[in-house]
Amino acid sequence: MSEADLKIGELKRALEKITKKIQVVGNTAVYAEVYLDTTQSQITELKRQHNIKLEKLESQTKRAVKNAKATHKVIDALLAEKKVLHSELVKASHIGKEACEYCGKYYTPAGLPRHKGACPSKPSVKAVDDVESEIAQALIDLEARKIALKKELAASKKPKPKPKPEPIEEPEAEE
């Protein structure tokens, strides 16, 4: 074989190698495109599923809020009914008893006159209690002032420390 044939054979082999590489790279590019399309369709599907779940959760939240509001209304109505029943129960439990005009507590007809004289909510009894508390506070203040005065007297009776005499410096003798 001639040198030209060898060169042509060598070039043909190089072209075959490049062609194979081009086919491999082309296949890889096709696979990449398919993968990209698949990934994009998966992303689209996941977004759609996400939106469906989000709408479902928002719907559940709205229902829960609506149910909570309805429940609160029912609780308010039941509490109002309970207050009415309680006031009726209080009235029923005090049948035959009379309320004190000062404190509002209920007593039997025989016990009410005895209670009224010593009721702590009675204005005259309150005035006595106020005066007694004022006297007690005044005594506490007086004791505090006595203690402060004793401290001042004790401080004034303490002898003041005498200042120490300063040492006299003797002149140095010259020799």
pLDDT tens digits for 53-77? 999 999 999 999 999 999 999 999 9
Nearest to 90 by CA among 112, 110, 105: 105
Nearest to 120 by CA among 136, 105, 138: 105
Q: How many domains does the chain have?
A: 1
Any domain includes 151 = no
The model's pLDDT over 114-141, given as tens digits with 9 standing for 90+, comes to 888 888 887 765 655 667 788 888 889 8
Any domain includes 15 = yes
- How much of the chain, in percent, has pLDDT values that exceed 70? 84
Any domain includes 121 = no
Nearest to 121 by CA among 132, 113, 129: 129
Nearest to 99 by CA among 91, 123, 20: 91
Any domain includes 174 = no
Any domain includes 155 = no
Q: Identify the domain containing residue 14 by its residue range.
A: 7-93
Any domain includes 87 = yes
Nearest to 128 by CA among 114, 117, 142: 117
Any domain includes 166 = no
Any domain includes 84 = yes
47-48-54-58 Cα dihedral, nearest 10 degrees: 150
